[in-house]
Structure 1
Amino acid sequence: MEPDVESLPRGGFRCRLCHVTAANQPSLQDHLQGKKHQRLESLRAKRQDQELRSVFVSGFHKGTSASELSEYFQAFGDVASVVMDKDKGVYAIVELQDQEVMEKVLAQPEHCLGGQRLRVKPREKKEFKYMPPKKQGSAHREQLSPEKLVQALCQADDVDSQMSQLVQLFELSESERRLRHLLVTLFQEVFSEFFPGCAILPFGSSVNGFDIHGCDLDLFLDLEKTKTFQASAKGPQGAQAEEEAGPGPDSDSEDSILSDIDLTTATVPEVLELVAAVLRKCVPGVHSVQAVPSARRPVVKFCHKDSGLLGDISINNRLALCNTRFLQLCTEADERVRPLVYALRYWAKQQALAGNPFGGGPLLNNYALTLLVLFFLQTRSPPVLPTLAQLRELTGDGDQAIVDGWDCSFPQDTSRLEPSTNTESLCSLLAEFFRVFGDHDFAGCVISLKEGRALPLPSFLLSEVGAKLKLGPFNVQDPFELSHNVAANVNEKIALRFQHCCRDGAKYCRSLQYQRKSSKGKAWGLVRLFQPGVPEAGELGPDGLLITIPFTLMALSPGSRQQLCQARDFRRCWFDKVCAAVTFVLKDVLKCSCTGPAGEPLGQEPTEQGGGEQPIVGSKHPRSDEGGSLAVSPAKKKPRAEGPAPEEEESVSWSCAVWHRVWMGRRRIRRQLRHLGSPQPDAEQEAGSLEVEEKVSEAIIQQEGDSMGSEPLLRFTACAQVGSGQEDTRTLLCFTPGPQQGLLFQDFYHFLQGFLPRMVERYVGRAARGRQ
């Protein structure tokens, strides 16, 4: 056996040198005697010989030329070549004529060039690895540079033209589309040989209308007809005929894949391995084949060698075909859909909010962001796009489809759709998108493209689908697989940044820099909008700095969730819980002195470890309500702007003073307490818990000195109010610093932004557990 050849577990051989797989011994011998293997063997021998007579040189002055090094080492013998470090020019590889010359060089105890002592040692020996030359394929066209993009957009006449230009710059070229079509045709021909009746169907970015240069090629391998063919071939008559005829000449060959596995009973990993085997052995120009059975939708990944195009094949993703066709229908229904999606995708990518990063992550994926745009267009007045429920009313007999138990029926062409009467420009729609979602309660509702509205959590959680859908800080329901939240991976940080960036975008879109082309050649329109930047941490509300505390469902136990959702006044119950938590965090955790509007101190501490909720500032007559909430007597009231029966919306105020820098050095103190504590702390004493944070504040106060001065470090007012919309579950905390607080209050406020929502969630969860 050749040292470069390894045997494969299921038969066949693999050449480690050339990265080539051979199906049998004759094929292997043909490869070993072929030009490619012989050439690489010769190249490897040449490289190894060069390593044996080369030295590594460093320590010379920067800017030293290869000719100067060559001239120096020629004193020991002939020099074959000198290869300089091109990037930094701090080292070189000097190849000598033979090993004898190299030994003379290494025998010299010191080397000096230009007054600089050289460091000379034998060249490091590395394993030879074949790197195939990269070919300039059409799939990996040269990426559009930011400079060229800015130049192209600035030459447009208005924002609408900029958005249309963006589509032309990013969409697939004709050559790229032709390559993908040829690959799909090739795959269809090959797989039909092994899986009779199968179909290779593209879906995703390549065909859904939102393609960009270099996007992956997503394929679905439909094996339903193949299963029927296999079942009929293995029926009683087929088995009897096969037994009478005896084993055929090809019955044991590797090509007869279907004889080795029953597709109706095979597991997903087994079928994926079959698909991977066909790709490796029989599809020319494909390499880096890898089966990934652990993915949510198991796939086989591959790469097309000549073009560098990446792709994957799935075997149980029929819903993706429906999603793709639905997106296609939306792009065909209105010509404004594509430019708006392209602009928002690029904006979100520049702000590090969305994309499809390798290995997942907390960012919005492109599909979720696209659905968010379509939902926005459904909710315009008049709507730009119909809801999925409206589309189903237009469905004909031939359009009915049930996939994996979900209703995926909708018209397959746009001829049945009424044209939209909405006449808003792209410029206006983009600005409205930012305005709408800059103040949207993502955590307190579920965005539904089926209904074309945001479903409030209380009623949604009580439904059959609501019990299965994974909720989080960002909830976007798949149009067809209703139990799937396509934004479930998004964390609170990204959800909050998304809203901040939308508010910044809405503010910019109100300026003339967005609406009018610059006559002085400055950046304008989309160019300024696409500039990456982190939004300001502090937002200025009507009366001060604002912190938004969302409805955190996961903080509650299942029983508490059910009880809360069944409450008559869901928003009031949740608001009471948040206010109780804010009171506890400010007074007991951060040791602030807090009083109500009339100067009375806050209520007593919780009486039990479980965290009984305490009265809120201004609460004169505590009342018992569903969900165990406590009363809140409003400090001020204002009527609702909308609603059939006007109700009074409450707000609660705290007047607080901070006497110690309890926001400074908390991580260090927390680490010290952990080292001083028991090696296995109780669950309630885990890092970041309310109890630990109380001890951290106490330790900081002890270090600064327990005595209070005549005046506090900071004075501020905090005002809590329910979100403005009728279905808004958020609590808005507005902080107004006292006069001449300066940068000190900014430091404290930035600390509260991350600390307060987290502690509120822990308090609500602890209180819920204490009542069980």
Structure 2
Amino acid sequence: MSLLPRLYSGISHFNFVGSTEAVSTKFAFLFSRWRKRLKGGIQLTTVAGKHGGKLSIPDKISAETVAREDVLPETVKTGFLKFDEMISERREQARRSLVVQVQSEASCLELREYIENISPVNCMFHYKLKENHFVLVEFKDNCLQEILLNWCHVSDKSTVPVASPVVWFKAAQAGRKRSGQEITSIEDSKVIRVSPPPSYETILNLTSQIQRVSPLMETLHACTKLDELGTRLRFFTARQVELAMSGLFPHCAVLPFGSSVNGFGKSGSDLDLIFRHDLSQHETSMGNSNRSLRLVYQTKTSLGGPRPLTQRQMELMADLLQVLMPGCSGVKRILQARVPIVKYSNDFTGLDCDLSMSNMTGLYMSELLFLYSQLDPMSKLLICFVKTWAAACLLTNPSPGRWITNFMLIMLCIHYLQSLKRLPPLDVMVKAAGPEDERVTDDINCTFARDLSRLNWNSSCPSLPPSKILKGFFEYYMNYDFGAYCVSITTEARLTKPDYSPLYIVNPLERSLNVSKNVSGEELEKLKMALRNAAWVLESGDLPVNSLLTRLGQNSNPLPPLLQTGFFSSPIPHASSVEGEPAF
């Protein structure tokens, strides 16, 4: 069965009531849902349009139900969605996708008619970056290569004639009539219009009206989570690089990892990419191919070792991005880091990208976190809130240094949920692994059960609302003995610290490494104080719950802490600067 119904789990984009209007204390926003799929496209209906432009969500909505809205529908039948299946289906979508720059939103009408004459269209998304309008087109058939070769051309002979899946839809010739059925409105074109993420002020104004913790957590997650278009654009960005390299490496793959695919992503975050020369060899090593191949490619060898070779290849890829790839700008080479990366921006998808070649542990860590998000969807609400709270308290910082990172916060949240018996320790998943789950990269064993339906583990925790879980999180770590014990998601037992680091968080895949080795004693004390303050706010009720996001850690800067830290817009520090920490 195709995974497409799962992936169309709903595009949620929100048009919030302006600050000049009276906002309901229960929070009001426009909530758009899929209504039905039509032949040749998808049509959206705005539920809020039937309620005078506002839609209030009742306080009594089950928090578990709200958290499960992110779970793909097919998982109800099959149990859980596999990470590899999700990646495979998203890559197939990207192979059939084309980004078209148009003059305005009105051009979408004519584009739809023109594109349908070339090949049937599955869906189209209109989005805007600054003053430029773009449409992401997904065709029903895998015909993109034929379209690029036969239906696209280079208008300026002074430019490099690159055949890229990003094109411009030029205006029709004067006096030329459009053929086919006339389209008179944007609704008739069946183009999905996606609004940009809400601004800082909108989110702060909205959350300031909420008096209860559970609705606050739900609203914050709904405002900031990665939506359908954001996910598609990330895989499309990876596909653009993959196409450029496929001449030399026909079996290559550029795979997103980190927050883009681990289930805890947010809109506006960076895109982490890993380039694999030959994905078929990777699949063969996992036992997915039994063919006996006797013809072997002639290749070049390097006498300088794997790291100098990787650095040289990354430098060549940086030149390719900078000189030949349309839309790629701001290319920076960071080749001396523990994990060499190339940073660049994609102007057509609005993403800041980090491209690497030797960080498969980051991909497997993303898979592990994805599985945890499947096991307990409530973890998404908790992690989203904790990361926002930590930024408001100035515990995290966009620049690498002695501060706590978002990946460390995710580890703290998962460890806490394991203490509640909501999530299994990693050792349970390792014991349930079969031969098909074996993964080893750079002598690091990344084997654990990928099919959660085979996992012999059931949550013994009673159903709890998000507010109880959040309060328990602050109280748990407020009383945690960081001086004597590690924080580990690998086992149920509390492990003693092997060294005198202020904070010791075990890397789940490289268990001899401390992902929080960079955290100073001063920053740990700040964390403890922030935990006590947050627990007091929730216990006493003397301050509004929104003070967890706007008042803790506030200094003389008149801007709210969320704006001081730039949480919603600044990139997360790249983990290559922290020993043993994957890129999240």
Task: Please say if residues 393 and 554 of structure 2, whose CA atoms lie closer than 8 Å, have aligned partners that are also in contact.
Answer: no
Q: Name 1:416's counterpart in structure 2.
A: 454
Q: 2:360 aligns with which of 287, 294, 318?
A: 318
Whether 1:487 aligns to 2:526 is: no
Distance 2:314 2:502 in 1: 34
Compared with structure 1, are the counterparts of its residues 440 and 238 closer, same or farther at alpha carbon in structure 2 (3 Å cutoff)?
closer
1:186 pairs with 2:240: yes
User: Does residue 1:446 correspond to 2:486, yes or no?
Assistant: yes
Any idea what the Cα deviations from partners look like across 1:391-425, whole Å, max 9, x if unmatched? 11221221122232232222213323444231232
User: How far is 1:197 from its partner?
Assistant: 1.8
Tell me by how many angstroms 1:157 deviates: 7.3
**2:330, 2:345 within 8 Å by CA — same for their partners in 1?**
yes
Q: CA offset at residue 502 of structure 1? A: 0.4
Between the aligned partners of 1:155 and 1:535, the Cα distance in structure 2 is: 20
Counterpart CA distance in 2 for 1:237 and 1:391 is 37
Matches within 5 A, 1:95-174: 141=196, 144-146=199-201, 148-153=202-207, 158-174=212-228
State the alpha-carbon separation in 2 of the partners of residues 139 and 301 from structure 1.
Answer: 27
Distance in 1 of aligned mates of 2:346 and 2:438: 36
> Match for residue 346 of structure 1?
388
CA distance in 2, matches of 1:139, 1:411: 36
Length-normalised TM-score, structure 1: 0.43
Aligned residue among 268, 292, 299 for 2:310? 268
Residues of 2 paired with 1:174 and 1:511: CA distance?
39
* Structure 1 letter corresponding to 2:508: P
Select 2:549's aligned residue among 530, 533, 556: 530
Code of the residue aligned with 2:357 in structure 1: it is: I
Give 2:173's aligned residue.
none
- The C-alpha deviation readout for 1:196-225, integer Å capped at 9, x for no partner, is 322111100111111112111101111255
Match of 1:508 in 2: 537
* Distance change >3 Å, CA 30–CA 169, structure 1 → 2: same
| Superposition pairs of residues 544-559 of structure 1, within 5 angstroms | none
Task: Identify unmatched segments of 5+ residues in structure 1.
Answer: 1-26, 35-137, 229-234, 240-257, 462-470, 514-522, 537-772
Conserved? CA contact 2:197–2:223, under 8 Å: no
Does structure 1 retain, via aligned residues, the 8 Å contact 2:207–2:216?
A: yes
CA distance in 1, matches of 2:335, 2:405: 21
Q: Which amino acid aligns with 1:401?
A: R
- Alignment deviations for residues 229-248 of structure 1 (CA, whole Å, 9 cap, x no partner): xxxxxx99977xxxxxxxxx
Q: For residues 508 and 492 of structure 1, what CA distance do their matches in structure 2 show?
A: 25
Deviation at 1:426, TM superposition (A): 1.4
**What is the aligned counterpart of 1:407 among 442, 445, 456?**
445
Q: Does 1:297 align with 2:336?
A: no
Shift of 1:452: 3.5
Deviation at 1:142, TM superposition (A): 5.4
The answer on whether the counterparts of 1:375 and 1:448 sit within 8 Å (CA) in structure 2 is yes
Residues 453-474 of structure 1: CA deviation (Å, up to 9, x unaligned): 43113xx46xxxxxxxxx5211
Q: Is the 8 A contact 1:500 1:535 kept in 2?
A: no
State the one-letter code of the partner of 2:376.
D
Any idea what the Cα deviations from partners look like across 1:242-291, whole Å, max 9, x if unmatched?
xxxxxxxxxxxxxxxx7797898652221211221232233221122222
Closer, same or farther in 2 for the Cα pair 1:33/1:311, shift >3 Å? closer
SS of the residue 1:367 aligns to:
helix
**Helix, strand or coil: the match of 1:409?**
coil
Number of aligned positions between the proteins: 356
SS of match in other structure, 1:510: helix
CA offsets per residue over residues 136-166 of structure 1, 9 Å max, x none? xx999455324x2244335557422221211
Q: Distance in 1 between matches of 2:441 and 2:301?
A: 29
Q: What is the CA-CA distance between 1:226 and the residue it aligns to?
A: 8.8
Q: Residue in 2 aligned with 1:428? A: 468
* Deviations, residues 464-493 of structure 1 (Å, cap 9, x unaligned): xxxxxxx52111111111122111111111
- What are the equivalent positions in structure 2 for 1:10-409 lying under 5 Å apart? 31=158, 141=196, 144-146=199-201, 148-153=202-207, 158-224=212-278, 267-355=309-397, 357-358=398-399, 360-380=400-420, 383-409=421-447
Q: What amino acid does structure 1 have at the position aligned with 2:482?
A: F
For residues 297 and 444 of structure 2, the distance between their equivalents in structure 1, rounded to whole angstroms, comes to: 36
Deviations 1:98-132 (A, max 9, x none): xxxxxxxxxxxxxxxxxxxxxxxxxxxxxxxxxxx
Task: State the structure with bigger RCO (CA 8 A, min sep 6), 1 or 2.
Answer: 2
Which of the pair has more CA radius of gyration? Answer: 1
Q: Which amino acid aligns with 2:239?
A: T
Task: Tell me, in whole angstroms, the C-alpha distance in 1 between the residues paired with 2:273 and 2:375.
Answer: 25
In structure 1, give the amino acid aligned to 2:550: Q
Structure 2 Cα separation of the partners of residues 192 and 174 of structure 1 = 27
Label 1:196 to 1:260 Cα distance change in 2 as closer, same or farther (>3 A): farther
Alignment CA distance shift 1:31-1:349 (3 Å): same
- Residue 488 to residue 185, structure 1, CA distance change in 2 (3 Å): same
Counterparts of 2:517 and 2:194, CA distance in 1: 31
Change in CA separation of 1:302 and 1:535 when aligned onto 2, cut-off 3 Å:
closer
Question: Following the alignment from structure 2 to structure 1, what is the Cα–Cα distance between the partners of residues 214 and 304?
Answer: 52
Specify every segment of 5 or more residues in structure 2 that has no aligned partner in the other structure, as ranges.
1-153, 162-192, 283-293, 556-584
- What CA distance in whole angstroms lies between the structure 2 residues aligned with 1:278 and 1:479? 35
How many angstroms does 1:334 deviate by?
A: 0.9
User: Residues 139 and 176 of structure 1 are in contact (CA less than 8 Å); yes or no, is this contact kept in structure 2?
Assistant: no
Could you give the per-residue CA deviations for residues 283-340 of structure 1, whole angstroms, max 9, x where no partner exists? 2211222221122211111111234310011111010011101110111001210000
Contact residue 302 and residue 309 of structure 2 kept, 8 A: no
Contact 2:486 2:504 survives alignment (8 Å): yes
314-323 or 444-453, larger mean C-alpha shift: 444-453
Distance 1:208 1:33 in 2: 37
Q: Distance in 2 between matches of 1:33 and 1:279?
A: 13
Query: Which of 498, 506, 513 is the matching residue for 1:477?
Result: 506
Change (3 A) 1:205 1:32: closer
Q: 1:528 to 1:351 in 2, by over 3 A?
A: same
Task: Please provide the CA RMSD for this pair.
Answer: 3.3
Report the residue type matching 1:204 in the other structure.
G
Distance in 2 separating the partners of 1:425 and 1:387: 22
Separation in structure 2 between the aligned mates of residue 416 and residue 489 of structure 1, nearest angstrom: 37
State the identity as a percent.
26
CA distance in 2 between counterparts of 1:367 and 1:261 reads: 35
Partners of 1:201 and 1:219 within 8 A in 2: yes
Tell me: CA distance 1:32–1:196, structure 2 relative to 1, closer, same or farther (3 Å): closer
**Any conservation in 2 of the 1:166–1:342 contact (CA below 8 Å)?**
yes
Q: Deviations over 1:700-758 (max 9, x none)?
A: xxxxxxxxxxxxxxxxxxxxxxxxxxxxxxxxxxxxxxxxxxxxxxxxxxxxxxxxxxx
Distance in 2, matches of 1:450 and 1:506, equals 27
Q: Go from structure 1 to structure 2 and tell me whether the alpha carbon gap of 1:143 and 1:264 turns closer, same or farther (over 3 Å shift).
A: farther
Q: Structure 1 454/353 Cα, relative in aligned 2: closer, same or farther at 3 Å?
A: farther
C-alpha distance in structure 1 between counterparts of 2:412 and 2:277, whole Å: 33
Contact 1:139–1:214 (Cα < 8 Å) also in 2 = no
